[in-house]
Structure 1
Amino acid sequence: MTRPTSVQIREVGPRDGFQNEPESIPTDDKVRLINSLGRAGFKRIEVASFVRPDVIPQLADGVEVLNRIDVPADVRLMVLVPNSRGLDNALKQRDKFHEVAIFVSASETHNKKNVNRTVAESMADNDVIARRIVAEGLDCAAVIATSFGCPYEGKVEMTRVLDLAERFAEAGATELGFGDTTGMCNPAYAGDFFRAAIERLPGVEITAHFHNTRGQGLANAYAALEAGCASFESSFGELGGCPVPAGSTGNIATEDLVSMFHEMGVQTGLDLEGVIASAREAQAVLGRKLTSHSIIAGAINWAPSAS
């Protein structure tokens, strides 16, 4: 498989990152941060989730955020829905977004703890939701959490994950995201997995979503790239994690991922300095140090120093 020379990166911090903060970020700050991401060149941003506000109060202002953000017209906005009721609520804002994400965990235990459903129950609903999304003329992205391991069940068989992915594709999903929800993947397995996924699911966009829980996130992204993956999700400032279990830290930092790709000659279409500036602004809003390396080090400057 030839290494891609360009990739797409979806910024998921405004949803995946903000929902894991202990306190809700003020709406004004959310709007300002999303707008800054749009100016940094992102063409895809996940901005809201239509979940019950008592479950994830950090995203209770999703409708207001959707109505107030001001990003370039060519930016495709994504929302996440957990079930049919969530899609009903999302479709009330039909003209404010372009893509809808639906999800399931490959692990029965994680799925039960996350959404209080069996995998079979989630997939029965997802079959209906995916077809409704497509009928609305929206793009459907299906996400499979714990694709690379489960903290409760251990190893998750690749065939199980790809079987779920194939079912999503049959229901109309045009993108399949594979999530390393609690950071259990390693580079060797990432390479094997994405080679198999790309081979089994032709014509579907295959997206890698790695977490940096154990410090292997960028190495896993590199392995996925070498396997032919050209679509990634990441979060500025390394924000994010997973509500279950404790200790599941954030996504790989977008600015670190972009820096690595640019140094390799892989094009992202992003302004790295702009992404770093957005992450630093998020750090200021949150009032704590974030864990990305590029926030501290900045972009590499290859200009010779003055002598």
Structure 2
Amino acid sequence: MSKDKQRLYISNCPRDAMQGIKSFIKTPQKIDYLQSLLGVNFELLDCGSFVSPRIIPQMADTAQVLAALDKSKSSTKISVIIANRRGAELALQQKNVDFLGFPFSISETFQQKNTNATRLEGLERIEIIQDMMRGSGKNLLVYLSMAFGNRYGEDWSLDLLLNFVEKIVERGVYRFNVSDTVGVATPHQIQQVFLSLKKNFPKVHFGAHLHTIYNQWHEKIDAAYQGGCTHFDGAIHGFGGCPMADSPLMGNMPTEKLINYAQLHQLNHELNLAAFEGAFNNALTLFRGQSFAKWR
């Protein structure tokens, strides 16, 4: 891919960083942190979720947080995670929400663990949610979990991935984030997956949601970029990640590394770096003492 005047679109996932923290972060702290992130000019901000508070108690105040955010001076779009009809109903009531994120796993086991539904039921839920969203001005974003393999010994293949993407596209979804949920993907595999997705679905938007250890961030970003991906998720300082990853060193792709990649390869990112520095420092304060990947 020619990198002349190319843009790297960077999104940030504070929900992913916050949701695993056991001690409840006070609602005003969340609001202040997310408001600082809105000033950075990220493409998308994954702010919260409408799932059972018994499952993710940290996100129980998502509605209050969203209602307090001021988007008037930000171009950033806001997304929340939902996993069923009830979550979609709650998300659709929020004027600040632009995207509803639905997790769909290529692994049957993980789909059931994550959403209490089979993959077939997941496809049915996507249809229902799409119907609910008509005329709302909001869009569905599907997170393809375990998109590069899994830790359950279940078969994975590129054809399997493409088959499920086709089924979801047939249901009217045109935006996906392709997730290496447990950090199993090799750079070669990452590149081949994105090349194949772009070849088979040229009108569909695919972003990368990668997990990494400290010394693999560049090769993973570069593999996705060389595969034609220009949209990436990150989390400040790599906070968060999947607890099922084998390595305690595995975490989210650090947002600052995505910025570094753009700078190294002379790509436009259009982020407000002064605002990012402030948000970065806020994150270090907010998450101080929390247990994340050990290399951070």
* TM-score between both structures, scaled by the size of structure 2: 0.90
Q: What's the offset of the Cα at 1:216?
A: 2.9
* Counterpart AA for 1:101: G
Q: Which residue of 2 aligns with 1:64?
A: 64
In the alignment, does 2:184 pair up with 1:184? yes
Judge which range, 102-111 or 16-25, deviates more. Answer: 16-25
Residues 144/43 of structure 1: CA separation in 2 closer, same or farther (3 Å cut)? closer
1:100 aligned counterpart, secondary structure? strand
For the pair 1:275 / 2:276, whether they are aligned, the reply is: yes
The 3 A distance-change label for structure 1 pair 247 and 88 is: farther
Q: Which residue of 1 aligns with 2:43?
A: 43
**Cα 1:165–1:202, aligned 2, differ >3 Å: closer, same or farther?**
same
Using a 3 Å threshold, how does the CA distance of structure 1 residues 6 and 251 change in structure 2: closer, same or farther?
same
Shift of 1:275: 2.3
Structure 1 distance, partners of 2:225, 2:294, is 20
**1:16 corresponding residue in structure 2:** 16
CA distance in 2, matches of 1:112, 1:30: 30
1:259 aligns with 260
State how far apart, in whole Å, the 2-side matches of 1:22 and 1:213 are. 23
Cα separation, 2, equivalents of 1:153 and 1:135: 42
The aligned residue for residue 86 of structure 1 is 87
The alpha-carbon deviation at position 107 of structure 1 amounts to 0.4
Q: Is the 8 A contact 1:102 1:143 kept in 2?
A: yes
- Contact kept, 8 Å, 2:92 with 2:133, in 1: the verdict is no
- Indicate conservation of the 8 Å contact 2:3/2:267, yes or no: no
- CA separation in 1, counterparts of 2:20 and 2:218? 21
Q: Distance in 2 between matches of 1:158 and 1:182?
A: 17
Distance 1:292 1:253 in 2: 14
In 1, the alpha carbon distance for the partners of 2:164 and 2:18 equals: 28
Q: In the aligned structure 1, how far is the partner of 2:193 from the partner of 2:134?
A: 27
Specify every segment of 5 or more residues in structure 2 that has no aligned partner in the other structure, as ranges. none
Measured at CA, do residues 133 and 218 of structure 1 come closer, stay the same or move farther in structure 2, by a change above 3 Å?
farther
Instruction: Give yes or no for the alignment of 1:160 onto 2:164.
Output: no
Report the alpha carbon displacement of residue 234 of structure 1 after superposing the two structures with TM.
Answer: 1.0
Partner AA of 1:139 in structure 2: N
Which residue of structure 2 lines up, in the alignment, with residue 305 of structure 1?
Answer: none
Q: 1:186 to 1:277 in 2, by over 3 A?
A: farther
The aligned residue for residue 25 of structure 1 is: 25
Q: Which moved more, 1:182-191 or 1:246-255?
A: 246-255
Q: Does the residue aligned with 2:181 lie in a helix, a strand or coil?
A: coil
Distance 2:120 2:281 in 1: 42
Partner residue in 2 for 1:130: 130
Give how far 1:78 is off: 0.9
Q: What secondary structure is seen at the aligned counterpart in 1 of 2:142? A: strand
C-alpha separation between the residues in 2 aligned to 1:214 and 1:153?
26
Task: Return closer, same or farther for 1:166/1:134 CA change in 2, 3 Å cut-off.
Answer: farther
- The answer (yes or no) to whether the contact 1:183–1:217 under 8 Å persists in 2 is no
1:202 maps to what in 2?
Answer: 202
Q: CA deviation at 1:244?
A: 4.1
Q: What is the match of residue 8 of structure 2?
A: 7
Paired with 1:199 and 1:18, the residues of 2 have a C-alpha distance of: 35
Letter in 1 for 2:208: A
Quickly say closer, same or farther: Cα 1:292–1:276, change in 2 above 3 A.
farther
Tell me by how many angstroms 1:245 deviates.
5.9
Other structure's SS at 2:198 match: helix
The SS at the match of 2:149 is: coil
SS at match of 1:104: strand
In the alignment, what sits opposite 2:172?
172
What's the offset of the Cα at 1:28? 1.3
- 2:18 is paired with a residue of what secondary structure? helix
Deviation at 1:277, TM superposition (A): 3.2
Q: Give the structure with the higher percent helix.
A: 1
Counterpart contact for 1:2–1:226, Cα < 8 Å: no
Whole-angstrom CA distance in 1 between matches of 2:240 and 2:219 = 19
Q: Secondary structure at the residue paired with 2:284?
A: helix
